[in-house]
A and B are shown apart, each in its own frame.
Chain A
Amino acid sequence: MTDSYEDVLTRFEPVIGLETHVELATASKLFCGCATAFGAEPNTQVCPTCLGLPGSLPVTNRAAIEYTMRIGLALHCTVASWCRFARKNYFYPDMPKDFQISQYDEPLCIEGYLDVEVGSDEGARTVRVPIERVHLEEDTGKSLHVGGATGRIAGATHSLVDYNRAGIPLVEIVTKPVEGAGAEVAKAYVTELRDLLRGLGVSDVRMEQGSLRCDVNVSLRRPGEPYGTRTETKNLNSLRSVERSVRFEVERQAALLEAGVRIVQETRHFEESSGSTASGRSKEEAQDYRYFPEPDLVPLAPAPDWVAEIRSSLPEPPSAARRRLAAEHGFSGLDMAQMGGAGVLDLVAATVAAGAPAAEARSWWLSYLAQQANERGTDPAELPITPAQLAEVIGLVGAGTLTNKLARSVVDGVLAGEGEPAEVIAGRGLAVVSDDGALGAAVDAAIAGAPDVAEKVRAGKVAAAGALVGAVMKATRGQADAARVRELVMAKLSPAE
């Protein structure tokens, strides 16, 4: 018998802690020059360094250090004046070196916070989530487990490893325990963090591609008591999963505690289909990584002027951008509530920041894209289109290169993974014919094909021009901008001067 989440909260106070891993959007890996592009053929973005071949040595990517500092500073952290990478030793085939270069007791950024807004019936309230540390490490390779049920490691006969991901810079953002915070705060935090990271331009924060993933610690206590035993649910890769897994853990732990059963400190996995968590691999022996300072890398000592330069380049945080968005573009309270409710506020803000008019940005996210997200059962933010890409499409409509109908087709193409808007336009042959040379020829042909109509227009019967415009539109299979065609027709047929 499990009480509902809301019932549990009347008796227990949840305490959560989140560890978020963010793949940085650098062009090359953290310690070598291999590319970081997602989706390449397996083991085609690897070299002696990220394969751990003898004699290879790591050299740190400056952009990865800067991105990590950007994240730390945006989270109000202090940047360490001196720190080192550490070697984390373990045998597991996802790291071919048999160790991972990470940071241990000397993270690059420490002690910050992120304010998040949580909606409730009584209106929005702000929760300050304290940040313990932001550190930089290399990502691991990707394993496919073969021979067991549904790709699980348990029961597998062997595994296949792709090291393209091994060595991609990965930032880990660790919160302190957040007291009295449950599923809503967990989701709001990850949402706010994702929007912040997107605004910083340091990651593409695609949860469905794994470039942002979350581990959530949950424990329960009765008011006034010390923290209870926590469990850690690993590798949550959508906002929904973050929220659902916390709700499930709160309900599960409460049922055990009410029955007088102790909570086991363990790692758990979230099962998307059932919305439940299951016990992971329990380890008899506690992990012993034998961290020591990485001997192949010299220490980092960011000079104060370097830190100051990065601080001064930080963009406006999403919360401030939201307030400005409402004020600047005249969004009403209802608009803001609609966009907030649909989870598109920051997407609209980012689209506007990328150059799109506010009304268009709002309309795209609230209608067409919200509908696409709904059909896919995902959040709009997890659609595979970025605000910058949408702004580009909107810009092309504004410039007359695309009609609204064609624009939707371009967006469909981007969503279908056909590439950047320009690639979709080329691939699907969608561009409005706006090249005056090509249009001019079509206009000439239309005039030559209907000399009587042309004569009427020349004589001042402007309405007759519609037949010529129609002929041109037909000849260009609807891909011309009708307004431009009309201009060209009128220019050609204007009374001789």
Chain B
Amino acid sequence: MPSQTGPSQGGPSRTRPTLSRAEVAHLARLARITLTDAELDRLVPQLDVILAAVARVGEVAAADIPPTSHALPLTNVLRPDVVRPSLPAAAALGGAPAVEDGRFRVPRILDDAEAADG
């Protein structure tokens, strides 16, 4: 499964991760972005450079520096369980391209191939 060998799992942090053309195409598909062959030719090396730049951060991180996912040195930012006013339905639906029966109307979810399986 290509997805399990994504950029974040490229082995030890000192190893420079690389991104294959197939992985970029896969990520584009997941993000619903259509990429032409020409765009892949251009973007694969560019993303590789970006990853290499990010990987340099790993080089300065010594064993005594724990990995972090947040810039703020905070934990447990919580609010009390108190109800606050919601938007009026008209406002909530106001920005929707289509509305029906007070609900957001969205296009068909399954395409024909998927629907045939259902």
Contact = CB atoms under 8 A, between A and B. Distances in A.
Contacts of B75: 82, 298-301
A35 B86 contact: yes
Nearest to A152: B118
Contact of B109 (A34, A43, A44, A153): A153
A152 B110 CA distance: 11
A281 B117 contact: yes
A41 interface: yes
Given A28-B83, A154-B110, A299-B70, A46 B78 contact: no
Nearest to B107: A158
Given A60-B78, A62-B79, A295-B70, A161 B110 contact: no
Given A153-B109, A154-B110, A295-B69, A61 B102 contact: no
Contacts of A44: 86, 88-89, 92
A161 B76 contact: no
Interface residues of A, number: 63
A34 B84 contact: yes
Contacts of B88: 44
A279 B118 CA distance: 8
Nearest to A46: B92
Interface in B90-118: 92-93, 95, 100-110, 114-118
A157 B98 CA distance: 14
B106 A290 contact: no
B91 to A, nearest CB: 9
Contacts of B38: none
A159 B106 contact: yes
A386 to B, nearest CB: 20
Interface in B72-87: 72, 74-87
Most chain B C-beta atoms within 10 Å of own C-beta, residue among A33, A89, A93, A143:
A33
Given A34-B86, A91-B32, A302-B76, A42 B101 contact: yes
Contacts of A207: none
A62 B87 contact: no
A204 interface: no
B77 A45 contact: no
Given A28-B82, A41-B102, A156 B108 contact: yes
A293 B88 CA distance: 32
Nearest to A280: B118
A144 B103 contact: yes
Interface of B: 1, 3, 6, 8, 26, 30, 32, 69-70, 72, 74-89, 92-93, 95, 100-110, 114-118
Closest 4 CB pairs of A and B: A154-B118, A33-B84, A63-B81, A293-B69
